[in-house]
Structures are given as C-alpha cells and as structure tokens.
Amino acid sequence: MSSSLSRRALLAASAFSVAGVSAACGSNGDGGASAPLTGGDVAGTITLWGGANLVTASEIVTAGFVQEHPEVSMEYQKYPFAEYPTKMRLQLSSRADTPDLMIIHDYFVGSFIEAGWLEDLSSEVAEGDYVAGSIGAVSRDGKVYGIPGQSNPAGFWYRQDVFDQLGIPAPTTLEEYTAAADVLHGAGLSIDALDPNVATTNFLYYLYQSGGSLFDDDGTLQLGDPAVEALQALYDHHRAGYLFAAEPNSQDYWSAANSGKLVARLGLSADAAYLTNSLDPAGAGGFGAWTYANPPALSSSAPASYLGDGSFFVINAASQNKTAALSLAKYLTGDPAAAVAYDDIDQDGVVVRQTPSQLESLRDLQQSATEWEVFGGQKVNATKAELLLTHEVGHVYRDDRSTKAEDAIELILPDVFSGKTTPAAAVQMMTENIGAL
C-alpha cells in the first residue's frame, strides 16, 4: 500500500520538476512574426496597462481618439501603483502579446528595456520635441524606447488669502521661505508637512530644489555637501516647528488641510491636483483661495524647477497591434485636444490633471488650459507650461537601484529628526548603504 503511494509520489514529483524546468528555461527570443511599428492599420483592440490613476485618466482622454478611429476598441487593466510593475513583469516574461501599450514610470523602464520587452521607438521620438531631459530614462545605447507622458515639475502652492492677510509674499529663496514659515508658525499655521518616519520625499525635494541630486546622469552616486545642507535645512525647519506632523498627501494631511492648519506645500506639481478632490468646499481649507507658483530656489545654484518623475508610454515588443498602439500613444502625449482633455478631468476619484512633456502641446496649453476652481480659477497648467517652455529645469536620474536607495534613506532619516544623528553623519551612512547596492 505505502509502496504504491510512494511510487505515485515519485512519478508526480518528477513530472512536476520537468514542467518546472522547461518553464524556467522559458522561451527566449522572438516568438513568431512580430507586427510592424508603422504602416499597419489603426484598428483592432488595443490593450493598455498601467497604474489605476493614470490609466483611468487616459481612458477618459482616449474617448477623443476612439472617435477619430472607430475601428479601434480599447481594453484597460488598472493596477494599484505598488503592484503594476510586478504584474507587468509576470505578464511580459511569458512573452504574451498583450498588453500592447503600457504606462510606466522611470523607476522600472530600465529593467524592462534590458529584458528586451519594449519596442524600439527611435524612429518616432525626436528628443528636441520634448522638454529637455524627459527622455533620458527611456534611452539606452542611443535608442529610445518610450514616449514621455506627463511632465511633473516641482512647484509651490499656497493659500493666497492667508499669505495676503499675514503680509507674506510667495517665497523665491530659502531665506524668504524660512521667513514665511516663521510668520505662519507664529499664527499657528504650517508651511508644509513632514512625517519623520516617511521623510524621503521631503528630503529629496529640498535636495533637488537646491541643485543637488542623488545620482548624476551617469548613475554615479552624488549626495555629498549639497545633501548635507539640504538635510540640515529640513532639520532646522522641523526643529523650529514649521512643519506639521503628517505625511504629505495622507489622510492625516488632508484632515489638517481641511481644518485650515496647512496653508502651503512645496512638492511635485502633480500633487496640486489632489486639492481638487480632497479639499472640502465647505470647510476651512481655503477652497478657491489657493495659488500655484514656481518653487523657491533653495540655494544659489538651484534650477528654476526640476522634473520629479516621469511616466512613459511604451509598446510591448511582442504586441500584434503596434501601429494602433503607437498612434494612440502619440495622441495621448502630443495631441492638443488630448492635453486639454487631461487638464479638464474633474471627476470623483480621478486626480490626474497632468501636464504634457511635448513642447508643441505645452505651447497650445498656454492658451487653452482649464481654470481650476480650487485655485480660484487660475489656469495652473498654463503656469506650468510657461515654466517648462521658458526655463531650464533639472531632472532626476532613476534606475533599478532607486527604490532600494529611497528605502535605505527612509530608514536612516528618523534618527536625524530625533536628534540622534547629525545630517552629515546621516548623509555619510546613506552614501555607504546606497553605494553597496
């Protein structure tokens, strides 16, 4: 009895291990004939994958595209922001021919390019058509593998009514920022929010907005003195009580904003859109009294602003419908109607009023941007477009190390804010930990 069971077990075990090995060997190289990038029909089904927010926004804007191309039908797959890289990896590693089109962020593009999953779009993307520095993340060995979607420069938005009442101008330098923070603090208000346990983005904003960086364009770890100065400034602000104890964009943060305690924010401009949905129109949050401005220069060598992160439209190298996918991607990233549509999005639960990266679209947007109610009718995207067109903005280098690097920073920072470590020592630790990645 037991011997037949064990024999069965052996057979089963060997069968599964064979299956496992053959699956692990996988299918390397192209499977079958791949579709043409240009010259095919703009028809059939286009499958678009990405993070829920961006895909939902694109879904809204794609309505215009589908009107022009009635033979196209769309399929969407939306994932939580933290999950979509994994889901895409699982799908693409099996050489599936869907999705056709994907929206991905600069964090992951490198690994996707290296794995050979993305179509070469060099013939379709000209660097000069886009804001400087926006295609760095999707370029490899002189080839371009993605089209820049939204651009996300840093900005400073604040409650005009409060600033007027207290006689503070919008800050343009670090000194003015600190002075403003002090006045606000005296009135019981906060110029921004910081949670010491989740402080990486705050630190990186200060770093980039003062002209420093984490990695340089070759991927070499930078940090150094600019990082120490930035961290010192952040620590001083925290110590002086200028910063409300909450993580920006968290629910705690919005409760505080809605009770009128948070009256300004220095961050990536995509976050300004969140005010639209999260601010209570009937509350004390100053709905309609906010103003969007360009960020202060936190040091003398600071750029006018910098591009915080980028999202790209990429095409699956194994897709069977590349022409249609490319056409849609170009529409979403460059068509003026699309740019306006993105700006117009004002629906419950969709907080993406993004700015394009394509220069042509930006020029159009200066005229045709939407008025944002929560900003008292200001055409925020026009302000952003003007910045991107007339100034040189910095950009952030990202690769596969970036997520782990930012995790490492997050584990080191709390000790700085509790006073246990000095900024210099902390930056030293960061340099060691990230250098070891």
Which residues are at the interface with other proteins (CB under 8 A)?
1-2, 5, 8-9, 12-13, 16, 19-20, 23-24, 26, 51-53, 56, 77-83, 86-87, 89-91, 93, 195, 197-198, 246-247, 249, 251-256, 258-259, 274, 277-280, 282-283, 285, 348-349, 351, 410-411, 414
**Is the separation of the CB atoms in 347 and 276 below 8 Å?**
no
Count of alpha carbons within 13 angstroms of residue 278, beta-carbon side: 21
The answer for 348, left when phi > 0, alpha when psi is -120 to 50, beta otherwise, is beta
Provide, rounded to whole angstroms, the least separation between the CB of residue 113 and other proteins: 17
Provide, rounded to whole angstroms, the least separation between the CB of residue 35 and other proteins: 22
Provide, rounded to whole angstroms, the least separation between the CB of residue 342 and other proteins: 16
Q: 6-21 burial, b for 16+ CB within 10 Å, e for fewer?
A: eeeeeeeeeeeeeeee
Of residues 5 and 436, the one with the C-beta less far from other proteins: 5
Of residues 7 and 363, the one with the C-beta less far from other proteins: 7
Q: What would the DSSP string read from start to end of 344-367?
A: H--BTTB----EE-BHHHHHHHHH
Any bridge partners for residue 358, and if so which? 130
Provide, rounded to whole angstroms, the least separation between the CB of residue 139 and other proteins: 25
Report which secondary-structure segment, H or E, holds 394: strand 394-395
**Which two three-digit tokens encode residue 421?**
């470590």
Of residues 9 and 437, the one with the C-beta less far from other proteins: 9
Spatial separation of the C-alpha atoms in residues 255 and 19, rounded to whole Å: 53
Of residues 92 and 234, the one with the C-beta less far from other proteins: 92
SS3 49: strand
Provide, rounded to whole angstroms, the least separation between the CB of residue 274 and other proteins: 5
SS3 133: coil
User: How big is the CA angle at 276 (ends 396 and 272), to the nearest 5 degrees?
Assistant: 20
Of residues 252 and 309, the one with the C-beta less far from other proteins: 252
Provide, rounded to whole angstroms, the least separation between the CB of residue 87 and other proteins: 5
Provide, rounded to whole angstroms, the least separation between the CB of residue 107 and other proteins: 13
Provide, rounded to whole angstroms, the least separation between the CB of residue 387 and other proteins: 24
Provide, rounded to whole angstroms, the least separation between the CB of residue 67 and other proteins: 20
Of residues 172 and 277, the one with the C-beta less far from other proteins: 277
Torsion from C-alpha of 58, 59, 64, 68, nearest 10 degrees: 110
Provide, rounded to whole angstroms, the least separation between the CB of residue 57 and other proteins: 12
Of residues 220 and 418, the one with the C-beta less far from other proteins: 418
SS3 224: helix
Spatial separation of the C-alpha atoms in residues 295 and 297, rounded to whole Å: 6
Of residues 177 and 417, the one with the C-beta less far from other proteins: 417
Of residues 352 and 359, the one with the C-beta less far from other proteins: 352
Of residues 156 and 244, the one with the C-beta less far from other proteins: 244
Q: In sequence order, which residues have a C-beta less than 8 Å from that of residue 408 and are 6 or more positions away?
A: 430, 433, 434, 437
Compute CA distances 200 → 216, 231, 271, 402, 415, whole Å: 18, 10, 16, 12, 13
Count of alpha carbons within 13 angstroms of residue 338, beta-carbon side: 27
